[in-house]
Structure 1
Amino acid sequence: MRPLSIIYTTHNEIDIIERSLATVAGWSDDLVVVDSFSTDGTAELLAGRPDVILRQRAYQGPAEQKNWAIERARHEWILLLDADELVTPALRQEIDALLAAAELPYDAYWIGRDNHFMGKRIYHSGWAGDKVVRFFHRDRARYDGKQVHEEIVTEGLRVGWLRGRLEHYTFKSLEHFLDKTRRYARWSAQDYAARTPRVGFYHLLVKPVYRFCKHYLLQGGFRDGREGLMISAVLAWGVFLRYAYLLTGRR
């Protein structure tokens, strides 16, 4: 069987990292966590684990941090995870089967994610079709340069699908959701700066309203109850903040 490298990038993940690590226990001799100087005890916890290779590095951006780790992976095939993602037994078995095969037919693989918010599984609200490329060949895949929602560049790659899924516990609380949305909006403003020469009424009102309607009505957020309403409203607020940061940053 081919060996597997597992990579995490972390910052202040003390609440969830052990749950995620438990789902990959005993799977790899190259389990690397690149931590951007956590202050909540995450680094100390990881330093005490003999199965984890801890590397601390200043954070310059999500894609840059992940690409740095990918280039240093010991093995050709990589599973890259966030601390709030849990590998299901079915996904682990499927990856093992691929690693044991004579040849892998693809360079990278999409993996679907089941999202949870405030302890509840979210079936709608635009999160139902969530997917990420997280299992890939080290020498063929790299992340794009986005500050928010960075993705593996799939152009020119053979990309397949895995049936197994990740359990994604993305927001622990409403406060956590708000903090993360504010941070993402600030970073997203950098991504949108070049393609938004002027911020106006359309960006500050029409786009946020449309985003709310999209998640809550078109994508069935109302079917997720109060959690769906909060998701839709906060994501719309994030769109407003993106352009507000972009507007004020140009003054």
Structure 2
Amino acid sequence: MPAKLTALLTCKNERANIGPCLDSVASIADELLVADSGSTDGTLEYVRRRGDCRVIEREYRTAGDFKNWAIPQATHQWVLILDCDERVTPAMAAEIRQLLAGEPPHDAYWMGRANHLMGHRVHYTDWARDRLVRLFRRDLGRYEGPSDHGNVCVPTGNYGSLRTLLDHYTLWSWESYLRKFDRYTRVQAEQWHAGGRKPSYRRMLISPPLRFFRDFVLHRGFLDGMVGLQISMMSAFYTFMKQARLWELHYGLQQDEVEPEAIAAAERRAA
């Protein structure tokens, strides 16, 4: 008997994305489980109108924490985790269907992602080397590692790989990405700070250009033209901002520490 599959989608305010994502996986999923963390844009209303989804809700702290809460609530023994900006291609659906029709030899499966920048497929840079564990046995797989960029691990160490790629519409605008950028850099700096890591002049100076060189030259981002240039530049800036925010946590001063008399005078005038 074929193994049954729960497709687990995590979301918050994904009204534009969630429909195509659900449609892409509906043909192979025995359960569509939507884990929402406070949508206010009509996402949940749309999901409930569909009638083919089960909804669970909880506040969001970090990606790994949220997904580890949701995974055990899947009904079936196999789980496929998707973000709403991802799409299961027909080729991937066929591969997963064939895999689960028999007895899968592994407990978890790596899959590559075909990433897109504002609709343009990225063939080079680090984005083209993107691989994640997303298909796994429910009772074994849990997220480990950095809270917003961890990956699924299984204690057996029994991993396989899918041949097909998952479509990932990584970002449609820099505005939307920069909101995530703010959270990612803050969370990473907070983790470093909590672990006792100190700011480093050398890392702040050297790491960003090295990151640009890796993406644009070593990983041949220049072959993606303007798309590759933008990704390489943003990756370098991301590397810089993680270091800058760590410095902020250690040495940043607040305004009321620097000019308390000016603040008090302004408040008196306002009163």
Query: What TM-score do the two structures reach when normalised by structure 2?
Result: 0.87
Q: Displacement, 1:31?
A: 0.9
Contact 1:110 1:159 in 2 (8 A): yes
Q: How far apart in 2 are the matches of 1:215 and 1:182?
A: 21
**1:13-46 CA-partner distances (Å, limit 9, x unpaired):** 1221111111112433421111110122222221
User: 1:169 maps to which residue?
Assistant: 169
User: 1:144 maps to which residue?
Assistant: 144
User: 1:243 maps to which residue?
Assistant: 243
Q: Any idea what SS the aligned residue of 1:209 has?
A: helix
Contact 2:108 2:133 in 1 (8 A): yes
Structure 1 residues 219-230: aligned runs within 5 Å: 219-230=219-230
Q: How far apart in 1 are the matches of 2:7 and 2:212?
A: 36
Q: How far apart in 1 are the matches of 2:154 and 2:214?
A: 27
**1:179-228 CA-partner distances (Å, limit 9, x unpaired):** 32222111121333355622121122211111111111111111111111
- Describe the shift of the 1:202–1:154 C-alpha distance in structure 2 as closer, same or farther (beyond 3 A): farther
User: 1:27 maps to which residue?
Assistant: 28
Q: How far apart in 2 are the matches of 1:217 and 1:168?
A: 23
Q: Any idea what SS the aligned residue of 2:153 has?
A: coil
Q: Displacement, 1:146?
A: 1.8
Contact 2:140 2:154 in 1 (8 A): no
Is 1:122 aligned to 2:125, yes or no? no
Could you tell me the percent identity over the aligned residues? 41
Q: How far apart in 2 are the matches of 1:230 and 1:178?
A: 13
User: 1:95 maps to which residue?
Assistant: 96
Higher helix share: 2
User: 1:60 maps to which residue?
Assistant: 61
Aligned length: 250
Contact 1:64 1:145 in 2 (8 A): no
Q: Displacement, 1:177?
A: 2.5
Q: How far apart in 2 are the matches of 1:59 and 1:145?
A: 17
User: 2:135 maps to which residue?
Assistant: 135
Q: Displacement, 1:154?
A: 4.7
Q: How far apart in 2 are the matches of 1:79 and 1:135?
A: 4
Q: Any idea what SS the aligned residue of 1:128 has?
A: helix
Contact 2:124 2:220 in 1 (8 A): yes
Query: What TM-score do the two structures reach when normalised by structure 1?
Result: 0.94
Q: How far apart in 1 are the matches of 2:187 and 2:44?
A: 25
Q: How far apart in 2 are the matches of 1:234 and 1:131?
A: 20
Q: Any idea what SS the aligned residue of 1:193 has?
A: helix
Is 1:153 aligned to 2:153, yes or no? yes
Q: How far apart in 2 are the matches of 1:248 and 1:192?
A: 12
**1:111-134 CA-partner distances (Å, limit 9, x unpaired):** 111111011000001122211111
Structure 1 residues 196-211: aligned runs within 5 Å: 197-211=197-211
Q: How far apart in 2 are the matches of 1:250 and 1:7?
A: 39
Q: How far apart in 2 are the matches of 1:194 and 1:217?
A: 34
Q: How far apart in 1 are the matches of 2:145 and 2:42?
A: 29
Q: How far apart in 2 are the matches of 1:79 and 1:66?
A: 12
Which residue identity does 2:38 align to in structure 1?
F
User: 2:112 maps to which residue?
Assistant: 112
143-152 or 196-205: bigger deviation: 196-205
Which residue identity does 1:166 align to in structure 2?
L
- Describe the shift of the 1:205–1:229 C-alpha distance in structure 2 as closer, same or farther (beyond 3 A): same
Q: How far apart in 2 are the matches of 1:206 and 1:40?
A: 42
Q: How far apart in 2 are the matches of 1:56 and 1:138?
A: 19
Runs of 5+ unmatched residues, structure 1: none
